[in-house]
Structure 1
Amino acid sequence: MIEHKEHFHGSDLEKIEAIYGIKKEDITSFSANVNPLGISYRLREGLMEHIDAITTYPDREYTSLRKCIAEYTGTDYRNILVGNGSTELISLVIQLKHPKKALIVGPTYSEYEHELSLEGGRSHYFRLKESDDFQLNIDELKQALDRDIDLLVLCNPNNPTSSQIDRQSMRIILDTCKEKGIFVMVDETYVEFSEKADQITSIPLTNYYNNIIILRGISKFFAAPGLRLGYAICGNHQLLQEIDSKKNPWTINSLAAVAGEIMFQDKEYIEDTKNLISSERERICRILDTCPSIKYYPPHGNFILVRILRDDVTSMDLFEAAIRKGLMIRDCSTFPFLDNKYIRFCFMNPSDNDALLDVLLEQLNK
């Protein structure tokens, strides 16, 4: 298992407040990767109309919510299972599959390795190469998929690299895994931010493959991490039933279920989010192109990974310069295979993005 150092997560605002003496209310977090528009317009306007929902138990099957998710994602509602955030579903999948040896494509989100360790499984990493701009080499991955592996874990688009895998490549991966008896768990937390989300999502593949499950949530795109609503999409109904049987009943409260239905139908909010992230992603890349002291990797999520090329500047230097201005970025030295020359930040509103870029470029251009 790869050793991880202490770091600040996007939700660690209280810790930041204590160490740097900055009120958490005054911190703009570029580390949490959350939609800068805030919660859905329709949710903000209409949730109070449904407050009486807390007086009754939720539908045990969450049928109405699942149908809303199905319409939003373009699948059959019977292919959907909801859970208390995608983290619960990651845990349940790993508990059920109980893999002895898992291959994780990384650097990536640490929770996969953590959950695997709780089940006593061994985690191995397939390393994304900096020389390939952290794009997945399909041929090399196929060679690494030996028959001892029983679970492959992919994040698409990947955190923190913001690289992505197209559907045709995913089909090749699934074919190889099917041949070798390997189950595939795909975390699509950030796919809705992709400029080609409909070509990247693996949801259509669940109609043809029974060895894949896709996990999503509302924490990032819908800016609602506190509601703890996640969902899985899988064409293997027997597997979904087995996962559901391990869940506690009513893990999603009534208000979260109602809120989910409202958010997934807020087309104006969804379109505004996609337009904002797309335009800011393109604009920020153009600005970074002017700085010879960094290299960035083509971003497809709502965040960007940046490598510092100057010997005398570290990721912590940039973190501290930014946080003293109330701007929190991610020092990526804690991710597997990355060192103290990498930072990650998400795309916020234009004025906030400009404030952060001013700080970073001032430090890098000294």
Structure 2
Amino acid sequence: MYFDTNDLDKYVEGKKVSIMHGGDIYRNSIQHDFSVNINPMGMPAEVQWVLTEAVFHANKYPDIYHERLVEMTSGIFNIPENHIVYGNGASEIIMAICHSIAPKKVLLLAPCFSGYETCVKGACKDCDISYYSLSEDNDFEIHHDILEHIQVVKADLMFLTNPNNPNGKLISKTLLEEIVSACEKAGTVLVVDECFLALTGEERENSLAYDISEHKSLIVLRAYTKTFAIPGVRIGYCLCGSEAMATSLRNHLPEWNLSMFAQMAGVECLKHMEYIEDSAKLIEQERRYLTQGLSRLGAKVYTSDANYILFKCSELDLNKKILEYSILIRECSDYNGLEKGFYRVAVKSHGENEKLLSALEDLLND
């Protein structure tokens, strides 16, 4: 029997609940979802066709070693195949990292992606979580004093997002390299989440993926979710600085963790890298349009290099009121270091961005 996702409302006692990660389109009537940061160009047509074809292969077990995917990824980053680990989305890999390393102390930024803390608390009992606080006065940018903080804390594990989420600011390559060195001296395994990096248009200049073999305690995390607009397929991977680390991560992942759909779609995605370049150009143009529009409405907009924008305004229930326009935005008070009044919106197509600004103008002017 076909299951209509709209029927999910029946299973939450008639209540429309909000999932803080965003994307809760199943318990709200949504036409435009600005709460998740997906490539506004949408899924490449070739990938959609391959996903349709995958139905005819669903009667087979997928390749347990993801051989074709690993081979292509190895060629892109010039890294040995045994340093590459694939997972059912980046979130599965984050949990595997926490289980594998079993840290007693973890260092996180505040604010940053809340999924790290969720995995740490779920996988590592009695783990001490330390925070490096980003300043609102500095647009939540990371500065060189983080190097001293790394040496003082001496965490077993540190998570870093580039660009940072929710503010979308890139970390300079120079500072990144200094952070890697500081973590090596402190005995800290560093995970750099680059899931949004390709859509900034500055991936090659800022990625640590291309020289990861020089750093044994470095893990670079990536996903197809945002880049190729296939969040429902669930496919991500990480590049490890050492074979031993990659082997340990695999031991904490289930067998056949990538479906036939994920593997076939992933292989097809890697054939269309020019799509990413075109996407980055569109995002830069539309980010500028949205930033100007939000500022014109009186919101405090924080400088972003990514396909999402963090802003602050006096309306504390904006995320609830804008649902009347069938628009979903990300309320950010659950981020450590943020409070009510902070919101994040994705950069989408021009038509959708116009509708967002029009709805916000009605609400904020009222």
Judging changes above 3 Å, is the alpha-carbon distance between structure 1 residues 204 and 271 closer, same or farther for their aligned structure 2 residues? closer
CA deviation profile, 1:201-244 (whole Å, cap 9, x unmatched): 11123121111101111221211112111101112111101111
1:201 corresponds to: 207
Greater mean alpha carbon deviation, residues 54-63 or residues 121-130 = 54-63
Residues 1:295 and 2:300 are matched in the alignment: yes
Contact 1:152–1:185, Cα closer than 8 Å, also in 2: yes
2:315 corresponds to: 314
Alignment of 1:37-48 (within 5 A): 37-48=41-52
Residue of structure 2 aligned with 1:172, choices 171, 178, 184: 178
Contact 1:101–1:123, Cα closer than 8 Å, also in 2: yes
Give the Å deviation of 1:75. 4.0
Alignment of 1:80-99 (within 5 A): 80-99=84-103
Residues 1:225 and 2:231 are matched in the alignment: yes
CA distance in 1, matches of 2:35, 2:356: 12
CA distance in 2, matches of 1:261, 1:34: 19
Give the Å deviation of 1:192. 1.2
Contact 2:150–2:182, Cα closer than 8 Å, also in 1: no
1:339 corresponds to: 339
Alignment of 1:141-290 (within 5 A): 141-146=147-152, 148-290=154-296
2:330 corresponds to: 330
1:139 corresponds to: 145
CA distance in 1, matches of 2:175, 2:270: 28
1:55 corresponds to: 59
1:104 corresponds to: 108
Give the Å deviation of 1:6. 7.0
**AA at the equivalent of 1:58:** P
Greater mean alpha carbon deviation, residues 262-271 or residues 231-240 = 262-271
Contact 1:185–1:212, Cα closer than 8 Å, also in 2: yes
Contact 1:11–1:32, Cα closer than 8 Å, also in 2: yes
Contact 1:81–1:233, Cα closer than 8 Å, also in 2: yes
**AA at the equivalent of 1:300:** D
Contact 1:27–1:327, Cα closer than 8 Å, also in 2: yes
Question: Equivalent residue of 1:145, what SS?
Answer: helix
CA distance in 2, matches of 1:297, 1:74: 35
**AA at the equivalent of 1:67:** E
Residue of structure 2 aligned with 1:10, choices 2, 22, 25: 22
Judging changes above 3 Å, is the alpha-carbon distance between structure 1 residues 329 and 347 closer, same or farther for their aligned structure 2 residues? same
**AA at the equivalent of 1:53:** H
Give the Å deviation of 1:151. 1.1
1:64 corresponds to: 68
Greater mean alpha carbon deviation, residues 217-226 or residues 299-308 = 217-226
How large is the RMSD of aligned CA atoms in angstroms? 2.0
Question: Equivalent residue of 2:251, what SS?
Answer: helix
Contact 1:41–1:266, Cα closer than 8 Å, also in 2: no
Judging changes above 3 Å, is the alpha-carbon distance between structure 1 residues 162 and 175 closer, same or farther for their aligned structure 2 residues? same
2:10 corresponds to: none
Contact 1:83–1:89, Cα closer than 8 Å, also in 2: yes
CA distance in 2, matches of 1:114, 1:182: 20
Q: What TM-score comes out, normalization by structure 1 length?
A: 0.89
**AA at the equivalent of 2:336:** P
| Equivalent pairs, count | 348
Give the Å deviation of 1:287. 2.9
Structure 2, unpaired ranges of 5+: 1-16
Structure 1, unpaired ranges of 5+: none
CA distance in 2, matches of 1:114, 1:271: 33
Contact 1:156–1:187, Cα closer than 8 Å, also in 2: yes
Percent of matched pairs sharing the same residue: 28
